[in-house]
A and B are shown apart, each in its own frame.
Chain A
Amino acid sequence: MMTMRAPLSDLPVMLQDVRMASGKVTILDSVSLTISPGAPTVLIGPNGSGKTTLLRVLMGLLTPTSGRVTWGGRENAPPERRAIVFQRPVMLRRSAEANVRYALGRDDPARIAELLALVGLSGLERRSARRLSGGEQQRLALARALARDPELLLLDEPAASLDPAATKAIEDTVRAVAARGVKVMMSTHDLGQAKRLAGDVVLLHRGRVIETGAASGFFANPRTDAARKFIAGELLV
């Protein structure tokens, strides 16, 4: 008798003692983390702290030099239920709606229109994706990621170099997506944005997790000197 199988879950993502090195340079060092369903987790830390590398490891695009990564208890799980928006997303040489259709893998005009509306790009369906503004391209990349119906959405500095209006549009979309039960993990330089969006915070410095915990506790009572300095706006070197 055939039985229906529930789709495999990618959550929780568990990193155990993950180390990532390129030649003699250590990018991630002994990182152990568990990403569980819930409010957005925001990854903060100075430039070069390993945020982008960590997101790529979580996506499965990079294999750690040592350590173990599991998605829903499985190793080497292909990215079927997770999606990523890169800091500088690459637009396919097609129209905005064709970019979403490509990610969706089928022609479903209603779903494409719904996704474009969700990110505020209704009316720009036929526009060449490469001719959109930076903020519009970020939002289109977000629509493309959401087209894959992820349960884990990774965002690498999604509002970097965007103006306040474009940043608000991205943050509104992140909130809407998180409210639908998608686990969001995003990196940011912007502490204000971290405060506005984060349920949990992970502070990375020189490839190590310095502090992690609920955002409210992290910002009100940081446990480490490095976290206190970072929140105070001092330079972590």
Chain B
Amino acid sequence: MTSGHSALELVLSADPALLAIVELSLLVSLSAVALAAMIGVPFGALIALTRFPGREAIIVILNALMGLPPVVVGLAVYLLLSRSGPLGEFGLLFTPGAMVVAQTILVAPIIAALSRQTIEDLWEEYRDELAAMNVGPTRRVATLIWDARFSLLTALLAGFGRAAAEVGAIIIVGGNIEGFTRTMTTAIALETSKGDLPLAVGLGIVLIAIVIVINALAWGMRRAGERYAG
């Protein structure tokens, strides 16, 4: 790829280097969202459906963590995974695995906080009906998560948006190594600093297009689901 190519030509020619970057970016961000969903949705449900001392404080902290600065998370994960850190023996630093860990930490609070709010609102609505149907705690949680699935999808999208857009954390823990840990956002940052604007703009176009397509798919799924389930 040279700086002479236009951004559009790069995108339309399906440049192999560009495709590899896109593929890695999607793999890292989608893996992080999946992991964060496995942690965040049950945790959000737990906070929504239980009452205990300090619950309000946890909700405030959870909401505040939605704004975690990526570079701070990147630094914390770097210290954890570095050779002399507590998890250094796993050799994850400067690998896609480390990037997934960092993005999971960034995304999990967003999914947990939005899930908590969604499930708590639905619980307020369903409380009497489920109590009248003598529904036990396990079935209650499953019902609320299932019936809130379209709203929870929005929480996952918010998480994906955060993961796909961030650069601060993954550039620290991934190292932006060409062909190995270079993603769309880190490549845009690098190519811009090098002055290769066509590649940076090309990647920017792809990144925005992917976010739009994924949101459109989710929107379509939500509309179709609501038509059937309400």
List residues of A whose CB falls within 8 A of some B CB.
Answer: 59, 61, 78-80, 83-84, 86, 89-95, 98, 102-103, 126, 128-131, 144, 148
Q: How large is the interface on B (under 10, 10 to 19, 20 to 34, 35 or more residues)?
A: 10 to 19
Is B126 within 8 A of A130, CB to CB?
A: no
> Which chain B residues (103-154) contact chain A, with CB distance < 8 Å?
125-126, 128-129, 131-134, 143, 147
What are the 4 A-B residue pairs with the smallest beta carbon separation, nearest first?
Answer: A130-B230, A128-B230, A93-B147, A93-B229
Flag whether B227 is at the interface (Cβ < 8 A): yes
List residues of B whose CB falls within 8 A of some A CB.
Answer: 125-126, 128-129, 131-134, 143, 147, 226-230
Given the known A-B contacts A78-B134, A79-B134, A80-B134, are A92 and B228 also in contact in the complex, defined by CB atoms under 8 Å?
no
By CB atoms of chain B within 10 A, which of A80, A86, A102, A103 has the most? A102
Is A92 within 8 A of B126, CB to CB?
A: yes
Is A86 within 8 A of B147, CB to CB?
A: no
By CB atoms of chain A within 10 A, which of B125, B132, B134, B143 has the most? B132
Given the known A-B contacts A79-B134, A80-B134, A103-B133, are A90 and B128 also in contact in the complex, defined by CB atoms under 8 Å?
yes
Compute how far the CA of A94 lies from the CA of B125 in the bound complex, rounded to whole angstroms: 15
Is B230 within 8 A of A90, CB to CB?
A: no
25 contacts between A and B (CB under 8 A): A61-B128, A61-B131, A61-B132, A79-B132, A83-B132, A84-B132, A86-B128, A86-B129, A90-B128, A92-B129, A93-B147, A93-B229, A93-B230, A94-B229, A95-B228, A102-B143, A103-B133, A128-B226, A128-B227, A128-B228, A128-B229, A128-B230, A129-B230, A131-B230, A144-B133
